[in-house]
Amino acid sequence: MILIGQYDSPFVRRVGLALTLYGHGFEHRPWSSFGDVEKLIELNPLARVPTLVTEAGDVLTDSHVILAWLDELAAPEAVLMPADPDERRRALRVIGLSTGLGEVAVSLFYEMRLHVEASDLLVGRRRRQIAGTLAALEAVSAAAPEAALFGGRLGHADIALAASLRFVREAHPGLFDAAAHPSLAARTARLEALPAFQTISQAFIPPN
């Protein structure tokens, strides 16, 4: 398999982490949707990352779609989601909040970086969304066991949380206050110290 995209994207990173935790070998091509758009568009007309080329030659895009397919490949007991229906529902809520946090943080960065004059209304709205989502995730993290959020083992909720929070902290310094979110800070520090998170990692590189 071939995973296309840079690991400073929370969406590319969560796919890379899932591939690694599932034990799949894959080639990583760190193409940018800005600098490598011509190469990317030959595979994916949306020119978006992550893009995954399967061993059969199919091209999948969007992290939710890719991870749903990877879950189908896994043995039921190995799927990175809790088996208990109630815990699964709670995990899906955290995944939705975490990936939404990443989307809003990316949108805020583009608004502030790629426009001659940023919209004060949009910037204010995005910052409010980020603050509210961080507060909600802090509450979930503080109430969860230390090792993993759900099911007693690392799963998609943990991956999505760590990937999006790192993007927020690196793309928007100052929007995450570790003192105000101590459980998130401690939890993501533990995750980032794990071998898979150390391997599937890249410092944020602002697009040119």
**Tell me, what DSSP letter sits at residue 23?**
T
- pLDDT truncated to tens, each residue of the chain (208 aa)? 999 999 999 999 999 999 999 999 999 999 998 889 999 999 999 999 999 999 999 999 999 999 999 999 999 999 999 999 999 999 999 999 999 999 999 999 998 887 778 788 889 999 999 999 999 999 999 999 888 999 889 999 999 999 999 999 999 999 999 999 999 999 999 999 999 999 999 999 887 6
Q: Are 88 and 80 in contact (CB under 8 A)?
A: no
pLDDT at 58: 97
pLDDT at 208: 66
**What gap in Å lies between CA 98 and CA 10, rounded to an integer?**
10
pLDDT at 114: 78
Q: Are 164 and 105 in contact (CB under 8 A)?
A: yes
User: pTM for this one?
Assistant: 0.95
Q: Where are the alpha helices (DSSP H) in the chain?
A: 10-21, 37-43, 63-73, 85-114, 120-143, 156-171, 182-192, 195-199
**What gap in Å lies between CA 129 and CA 66, rounded to an integer?**
26
Residue-wise pLDDT tens digits, 60-118: 999 999 999 999 999 999 999 999 999 999 999 999 999 999 999 999 999 888 777 87
2-4 β-sheet, strand order? 27-29, 2-4, 51-53, 59-61
> Tokens 């890379």 sit at which residue?
16
Q: Are 31 and 204 in contact (CB under 8 A)?
A: no
